[in-house]
Structure formats: C-alpha cells, structure tokens
Amino acid sequence: MSTLQLEVVTPDKTVVSSQVEMAICPGVAGEFGVLPNHVSILSALKVGDLRYRADGKDEHVFISGGFADMNNNVLSILAESAEKANDIDEARAQAAKDRAEKRLAEKNDQIDATRANAALQRALVRLQVAKF
Ligand code: ATP
C-alpha cells in the first residue's frame, strides 16, 4: 500500500513521525483529507483533531491550530502544541475548561474574553480527542 510521511512538530518536540496511509486535517475552512502523492498544499489549521491511519489503525492527535504543508509526499503539521490522544491529561484539560468557563462567567472588563474562549476551545477539543 502506498503511504506518505507525516510529521507533526511543535516548538518543543516531534509528536508524530511516521508513514501513514492517509490523514484528515482540521483546516480553518473545514476538514480536508490528504492521500499519498497529493498535490502540494499549504493550509492554516484550527484547533482540532488530526486523524491518520497507520498500519490500518486510526489514530487521533490534538492540535492547537497551525499549518499543514504537503510537499514531495511529506505532510508537515506545524502546531504550537500537539498531543497524541493517549498522552492527553484529561484532569488537566478539565481544569483548564473549568478555569476558562469561570473567567468567561465573570462580568469583568479586565478579563480577556478572546483568550479565555481560545483556552476553552483547546480544553474542549482535548477532552474530545482523549476519548479515542
Ligand atoms: P493549560 O492551561 O492546562 O496549560 P493550555 O491550553 O493553555 O492548557 P497549551 O498552551 O496549549 O496549554 O500547551 C502548553 C503545553 O502543555 C504544551 O506542551 C501542551 O502539549 C501541554 N499540554 C497542555 N494541556 C495538556 C493536556 N491536557 N494534556 C497533555 N499535555 C498538555
């Protein structure tokens, strides 16, 4: 079976580096699939679940947005943070969710609602991806 090389990289580490059969990326304009030998693409990503199939098995990775670059059969995902489903600390994500919700509930001009909403979104998606 033909494959493509998937690299998921954050400023700290390489989270995935493997040959995969396909990947589905959370693009800002909607999900898109990438198969082996796909034409070159560059796309911005949103906070979401990056799915891929390796050795016939579906895998899930949380990504906090970033960019996907497909070139010469290598799909590079560059994200500020990323964790494989099994590496997500659910208690930490739950605590982040509670913290963000508490901030958003405060009727206080001092809170940065955009930042709290972004933190809430990351926490919700982490909790979702952790279930896989
Ligand atoms: P928190 O408030 O819990 O730090 P956050 O959304 O602000 O959450 P990020 O800025 O996205 O966190 O990530 C900071 C670092 O912590 C990254 O290396 C990320 O992979 C890791 N990280 C954050 N939350 C979790 C989690 N629930 N499980 C595992 N790693 C996490």
Structural domains in the chain, CATH included, are 4-85 (2.60.15.10), 88-130 (1.20.5.440)
| CA-proximal residue: ligand 1, atom 30 (nearest) | 88
In angstroms, the CA 43 to CA 29 distance is 9
β-pairing, 22-27 with 4-9?
unpaired
- Using a 6 Å cutoff on CB, does residue 121 contact ligand 1? no
pLDDT < 50 stretches in the chain = none
Question: Which DSSP symbol is given to 87?
Answer: G
9 backbone dihedrals φ, ψ, rounded to 5°: -125, 135
In angstroms, the CA 75 to CA 42 distance is 10
Condensed to tens digits (0 to 9), the pLDDT of residues 66-98 reads 999 999 999 999 999 999 999 999 999 999 999
CA of 118 to the centre of ligand 1 (A): 12
Question: Which DSSP symbol is given to 21?
Answer: S
In angstroms, the CA 75 to CA 39 distance is 11
Atom of ligand 1 nearest to the CA of 90: 27
